């Protein structure tokens, strides 16, 4: 009888370990929305979204306030249209700025919201008018190298 009790406890321990592993996996992949709660949608347009993905966090002052729920290309303006789902407990002024930022040097990208000072708030379904596109590392390196090459060319052409 004691052997059966030990086997039951081991089985429960293994089952608890599997549940914990699934929970951690969902959280790591940004798939688990265990917080629940009501949310509203905002839209932002960016010239370049970089490597932003759906389910990426939306943060303000380092606090996660929502998720990216959709990414599309506007066929007329050729801008990336990003749909944000913000928790109802957070409201932002109309002059809020949305930026695509990177966690660390080469980390995942997320949308950062910087609240403005306007008295009126963005309404559900509203558009964040002020945006700043993602900084693409390859473009920065290209600009740096192009700038250095033009500086070298200008130095060589200058009379001595």
What's the pLDDT tens digit per position in 78-88? 999 999 999 99
Percent of the chain topping pLDDT 70: 85
pLDDT tens-digit profile of 1-28?
Answer: 678 888 888 899 999 999 988 888 877 7
Q: What range defines the domain where residue 80 resides?
A: 39-139
Consecutive H or E run containing 142: helix 137-157
Question: Phi and psi for 33 in degrees, rounded to 5?
Answer: -110, 70
User: Over 70: is that where the pLDDT of 157 sits?
Assistant: no
- HSE-up (13 A, CA, CB side) for residue 7: 4
Residue 155 lies in a domain: no
Residue 156 lies in a domain: no
DSSP-H helix ranges across 77-128: none
Same domain, 21 and 86: no
Same domain, 28 and 53: no
Same domain, 68 and 129: yes
Same domain, 23 and 77: no
Provide the token pair at 18. 């599997």
- Kindly report the pTM of this predicted structure: 0.68
In this predicted structure, what is the pLDDT of residue 78? 93
User: Over 80: is that where the pLDDT of 119 sits?
Assistant: yes
């Amino acid at each position: 009888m004691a052997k059966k009790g030990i086997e039951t406890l081991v089985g429960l321990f293994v089952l608890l370990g599997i549940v914990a592993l699934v929970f951690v996996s969902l959280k790591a992949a940004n798939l688990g929305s265990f917080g629940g709660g009501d949310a509203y949608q905002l839209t932002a347009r960016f010239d370049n979204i970089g490597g932003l993905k759906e389910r990426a966090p939306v943060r303000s002052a380092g606090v996660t306030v929502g998720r990216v729920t959709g990414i599309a290309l506007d066929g007329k303006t050729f801008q990336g249209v990003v749909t944000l789902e913000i928790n109802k407990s957070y409201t932002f002024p109309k002059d809020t700025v949305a930026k695509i930022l990177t966690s660390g040097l080469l980390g995942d990208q997320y949308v950062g919201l910087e609240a403005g000072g306007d008295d009126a708030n963005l309404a559900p379904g509203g558009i964040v008018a002020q945006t700043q596109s993602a900084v693409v590392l390859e473009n920065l390196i290209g600009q740096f190298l192009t700038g250095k090459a033009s500086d070298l060319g200008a130095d060589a052409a200058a009379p001595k």
